[in-house]
Each structure stands twice: as structure tokens, then as C-alpha cells.
Structure 1
Amino acid sequence: MDIVIRPAEPGEYATLGEITAEAYLGDGLLDFGESDAYLGELRDVAKRAAAAEVLVAVAEGRVLGGVTFVPRGGAMADISGPGEAEIRMLAVARAARGRGAGEALVRACIERARAVEGCVRVVLSSQRTMRAAHRVYERLGFVRSPQRDWNPLPDLDGLLLITYELTL
């Protein structure tokens, strides 16, 4: 199966939003299920696309997954600083997992980061339970950066996001 990585088109936003929400819900990554406020953020691909670059993995005319690439700061950045690009909201449909779509999306972000003038590093946050994603990141050269680990909801103990970085 040939996987093509390209910018998401507006007609694909709803599909990608559902893939992303289902991936996070199905993998138990949202603490409050359907009532989790972050679920709305995951579904709002149009908002992400207005502030960053949203890429999709497509094969045989179907969207398999997507990622948000933040080339330099702005509203979509969580942990990136000067000279850093950030990868956010990587998700692949359950039925499409294990076929290389996630890795292809991460590789596309790395390539884009290399094309950003002054970019020296790619950073990302992940949950501890996202072990398959961690294997992809490590295979591509990312290393853990525990000094950057953070909690997006300080009032909620135990929601520590772990971080990775790749020096370009």
C-alpha cells in the first residue's frame, strides 16, 4: 500500500478529527472520556490548520491518520522554544495501524523542520502509555528529554506528559 503524506484538505477535516478523537479515546488517553474538553480540540482540525500545518496520510483514497506540525511557536505550540519545531496530535486510525502511516507522518514533519530556516530541533509530548509511538520516535532518532516533561492540567495529578526531541 502506497502511503502519501500531504497537507489536509478542508473536506478531510471532519474525518481526521474523528480519527484523532477515536484514537485518543480508544487508547484510553483521555481521562474523562467523551466529556473531556481536550476531545473538542482533537476534533477541531480547522482550528489547528489555521495556526499550524496539518498533514494527512492517505492510501487508496482514504485518510489513514494525521499530525499537526508546528514549525515555529504560535498558538499550537506547547513546549517548543526558539529554533524548535513541534509535532502534535499524531493519530492513525485503528484499522490502519502497523502499516507505516504514523512513521511516514513523523518523517514528513522531520523533513519540514529541516526546511525551516533556523530550526535545530524537533520536540514532542507524549503520554507514557503511547508505547508504539515511542518506538517510532526512538527508531527515527528522537531521545527522551525528561527535563521538559510537563503536566497540561496541574490540578490533575498523574497526567505527566513525557517529551522527546530530535536534534537536526
Structure 2
Amino acid sequence: MKRIMYTHCSDTEILNLIRSGNADAFGVLHTRYAKSALRAALKITKDLHAAEDIVQDIFLSLWRNHATIEIEDISKYLFTCVKYGSVRYLSKRGREQMPGEALPETASHLTPEDVYNSRFLEKCLQLAIDRLPEKCRVIFIDSKIKGLTAKQIAAEQGISARTVEKQVENGVSKVKKSLEKVASLFFL
């Protein structure tokens, strides 16, 4: 009965009720946003189980910290969490990838040394990307790996296209510096 009563409350009212520990209000929030958060996570991860885990972790964390949450726009907050959680998942999955998975089937003309060097460089690139600050890393991945435009990323992140461009420039610069050190080893 109470949960039905809360369905007409605004997000701000729901958040205030959740801060006071109201589980029914939390249920209403979950009902409002869980499916769309799951769709967003699935769109990024392309893995239903991972998307479900990401969304569950976000809501679990929100409930565990309900007394101290300071959120103005719950929709924006949740989808930012989904995006970062999904990127962390993709980054972790990339690190756990089996050796040789990323190599094309038609690469039979490569020598064992070429294969080793390719894998080594891929790992170095992944490490360089992982070392970027979180916001820069997310924007870098969206731009350079997913191929999104600055305008698309800006709209998704709620920031200006110029900020996106600066973050991409900073990311490229830092990744290049990391890889220059590695590349110099290959040419010694």
C-alpha cells in the first residue's frame, strides 16, 4: 500500500524518504530506473549478466549509503554510475582476455616474435589507458575505442564538446608518453 503511495512522488521526494531509511521509497526508485539502467549497461557491455551485476551493485551501494547520499539528479547519477561501472567492466575484461584472442585468424603469416610483440604492445596500451584519470579514461575509450564523436560524448556526459576534446588530447598525450618508453625498447 505504501509503495503505491510513493509512486506519485518526485525523485527529490523519493531521495529524501530513502535518506531516512524508507525501503518502500527505495523500491519505487528501483522500479523507476532499474530497467533503463540495465538497458544502458547492456548497450555498453553487450553482456546481460555483467549488465545485471553492474546495476545491482549500483543500487546496493545506493541503499548501503542511503543515510549519507547527496544526489541532486538521481537519473544523471545512476546513468553516470552505469557508464563508469560498464567501462570498468570492459577494462577488466580486456585485461583478462586470453592470449591471442585479439589477433585475427588470418594472421598466420606472423612469426612467433611478431605475435609476442603484438600481445606485449596491446598489454602496454591497455595499461596506459588504465592509468588515465577515470573521467579522462572514459572519454578516451568513448572517443578512440568506441568511435563516438565529441558531440556525442559531450551530450552523454553533460559537458561541452571542447572539454571532451581537451580530455581526448590529454589522454592521447599521456598514452603516447607511456608507449614511447616501450617503443624505444623495441628499437634498441
Is this a same-fold pair by TM over 0.5?
no
> Highest relative contact order (Cα 8 Å, sep 6+), 1 or 2?
1
More strand by share: 1
Larger Rg: 2
Q: Which protein has the bigger helix share?
A: 2
